[in-house]
Amino acid sequence: MVTAKRAAMAIRLLDPATIGQIAAGEVIERPASVVKELVENALDAGAQRIAVRVRGGGLEEIEVADDGTGIPAGEVATALLRHATSKLPDAGGLTAVVTLGFRGEGLASVAAVARTTVSSRVAGEEIATAVDAFGEDIGMPYPAPGPVGTRVAVRDLFAGVPARRAYLRTPSAEFTRIAQWLSTMALAYPEVGFTLEHDGRRVFAFAPDGDPAPRLRHAFGVPGEGMVAVRGESDRIAVEGWISPPGDDRPDRRAQILFVNGRLLRSNLLSGAWTGAYRTFTMTGRYPYGVLFVDIAPDEVDPNVHPTKSDVRLRFGERVNAVVRDAMGTALRAAATARLERAISFAPPPSGDIAAPRPTDGEAEPNWSGSLVDADAGAGAAPPVLRVFAQVDRTFVLATDGEAVVLIDQHAAHERIVYEELMTNVERVVPGEPLLVPHTFEVRPDQARALEASREALVASGLVIEPFGECAYRIVATPAHTTHAGRTRAFDIAEFLDGFDDDGPALDARHAVWASLACHSVARAGDPLVYAEMVTLLERLQRCANPMHCPHGRPTIVRLEPDAIARLFKRL
């Protein structure tokens, strides 16, 4: 994270040329904008503690006190002038901004719409210096008591601008915005203490101890341990953060929080990275959440495109997107594997435990799943002590690890397995298996269009389909392992084409093809399974990178804990 710091420069007026390059704008729209300007100044000043006190939703009073570097006595009045800043050097300033502020407009814009008092003291000074300002009037500096640091008090916001007041919501709604913004900001500065008070009541207090957990809990309503830590780095781009565990998601993108170089962005810049990383973890129409901190060399970001600076332009947007997506993907896969291990506790089997099932001691060869299981592949690894009991309702596999009841959705689990095998096949460029007798089929014109659009991706996955007259095609090869003899379901092209759109925007073309292929070539709910088939299913699932969810984001395994069972029996 970029450490906020006050540049060791005096406050001065920007030259007209620089002013001309700045994206000007009305900065103060509502009480939360005042808090934003003042808190950003405190962070730029290297504050370790920032206390925000609000009355009447911020319309009556907002006070922000910090223990940062302070403003020298002789510069307090200058700080209130428009375009007065200590943060931009003369030349090349706008191309390498590392502070949150840089336009010199914050304090002036606040003072323009509210009675403002700035009181500040730097180390070495005996006493603080205060200046009152309102509108164009900036008063004479006067001595005031106060510690090192800065305190800005803002009263009667928009008192002289009734038109502005008319746009505001109720005080409590305005306060909610303040609280949301501040608690979000607190995520990015865990070493800085933040307190917020409204009408004399403490709303939150985050200690300056670097511990993100209380802040995550406050921002997302989820304990920090429940989130997945992300960390990645690739040439000059670093990403860190906490993101939601697979399967936990929200109805919209609002809780996808992004900081670039310590600056909170509203921009959708990285929504593609979120979608890509969670591709097969999240159901269509649901969104993961979390907070990402991206650090990029300052000269690759242009923060100067929006008056509230909430959009930045990234010079290498695609590259940043890829680094962030890969870091999230790696973290999610690790988390999913860990979750499976917790779902099925993988203690080595006690020796001589004849009840622990092995894939080879079943009454039938595990053949419904094709020949995917290389008998030797898992031989070195200890098999899970997951005892399979039965198939339930021809849909679920009932098992236990000795602690909990474990239920596996046979279709979802098998879909996940085949999906990952298709992906691996493509990486290894395994050609499809030619069919002895090509299968010819006809499609409707709309299906033909869908098919044409995805034929290349299908071929890449081993499903080779050739045109065979008008609206007719033939399958000449199928993906290895999906259409084996035995009890494997023959690939159902019609159903595949019908379901092709279902995967929706969450999956790109190739993944949609794989997900669809997986869905239409595996055991369904309703297919009977023999014992050995169930055991093999679990073994293969265990080898998946993302074992906990099917490609459409539905869970593959659920665990019924003893507590939950005890409650059913009214023991708890």
**Residues within the interface to ligand ADP (CB under 6 A):** 6, 11, 37, 41-42, 45, 66, 68-71, 79, 84-87, 101-108, 150
B/e letters for 152-184, b = 16+ CB within 10 Å, e = fewer, are bbbbebbeeeeebeeebeebeebbebbbebbbb
User: Is 520 within 8 Å of 406 (Cβ atoms)?
Assistant: no
User: Is 411 within 8 Å of 523 (Cβ atoms)?
Assistant: yes
- Decide whether 139 or 431 has the Cβ nearer to ligand ADP: 139
Judged by CB under 5 A, the chain residues 34 through 73 that form the site for Mg ion are: 41
Report d(CA 71, CA 45) in Å as an integer: 9
Please, what is the minimum distance in Å from the beta carbon of residue 167 to Mg ion? 23
- Decide whether 306 or 543 has the Cβ nearer to ligand ADP: 306
- Decide whether 106 or 384 has the Cβ nearer to ligand ADP: 106
Report d(CA 140, CA 2) in Å as an integer: 36
Reading phi first (left if > 0) and then psi (alpha if -120 to 50, else beta), residue 149 is in left
β-strands 290-296, 256-260 pairing: parallel
User: Is 540 within 8 Å of 546 (Cβ atoms)?
Assistant: no
261 binds, among ligand ADP, Mg ion, none (CB under 5 to 8 A by kind): none
Report d(CA 491, CA 265) in Å as an integer: 46
B/e letters for 52-62, b = 16+ CB within 10 Å, e = fewer, are bbbbbbbbebb
Tokens representing 322? 């890829």
Question: How many residues contact Mg ion, by CB under 5 A?
Answer: 3
Please, what is the minimum distance in Å from the beta carbon of residue 299 to ligand ADP? 19
Report d(CA 491, CA 518) in Å as an integer: 9
85 binds, among ligand ADP, Mg ion, none (CB under 5 to 8 A by kind): ligand ADP
340 binds, among Mg ion, ligand ADP, none (CB under 5 to 8 A by kind): none
Q: Is 303 in the site for Mg ion (CB under 5 A)?
A: no
Please, what is the minimum distance in Å from the beta carbon of residue 88 to ligand ADP? 8
- Decide whether 106 or 383 has the Cβ nearer to Mg ion: 106
Please, what is the minimum distance in Å from the beta carbon of residue 189 to ligand ADP? 14
102 binds, among ligand ADP, Mg ion, none (CB under 5 to 8 A by kind): ligand ADP
516 binds, among ligand ADP, Mg ion, none (CB under 5 to 8 A by kind): none
- Decide whether 66 or 174 has the Cβ nearer to ligand ADP: 66
Please, what is the minimum distance in Å from the beta carbon of residue 35 to Mg ion? 12
- Decide whether 101 or 553 has the Cβ nearer to ligand ADP: 101
Please, what is the minimum distance in Å from the beta carbon of residue 155 to ligand ADP? 17
- Decide whether 38 or 255 has the Cβ nearer to Mg ion: 38
68 binds, among ligand ADP, Mg ion, none (CB under 5 to 8 A by kind): ligand ADP
The SS3 of residue 381 is coil
Report d(CA 300, CA 95) in Å as an integer: 8
- Please state, in angstroms and as integers, the Cα–Cα distance from residue 483 to each residue in 76, 441, 459, 505, 570, following that order: 77, 17, 15, 28, 48
Please, what is the minimum distance in Å from the beta carbon of residue 173 to Mg ion? 25
- Decide whether 68 or 290 has the Cβ nearer to ligand ADP: 68
Q: Is 106 in the site for Mg ion (CB under 5 A)?
A: yes
Q: Which residue is nearest to Mg ion (CB)?
A: 101
Q: Is 262 in the site for Mg ion (CB under 5 A)?
A: no
Tokens representing 548? 């906990």
Among 101, 288, 366, 547, binds Mg ion (CB under 5 A): 101
Tokens representing 141? 């500096």
- Decide whether 259 or 281 has the Cβ nearer to ligand ADP: 259
69 binds, among ligand ADP, Mg ion, none (CB under 5 to 8 A by kind): ligand ADP
The closest alpha carbon to 4, from 269, 190, 240, 258, belongs to 190
Give me the sign of the Cα torsion angle 338, 342, 347, 353: negative
84 binds, among Mg ion, ligand ADP, none (CB under 5 to 8 A by kind): ligand ADP
> What are the residues binding Mg ion (CB under 5 A)?
41, 101, 106
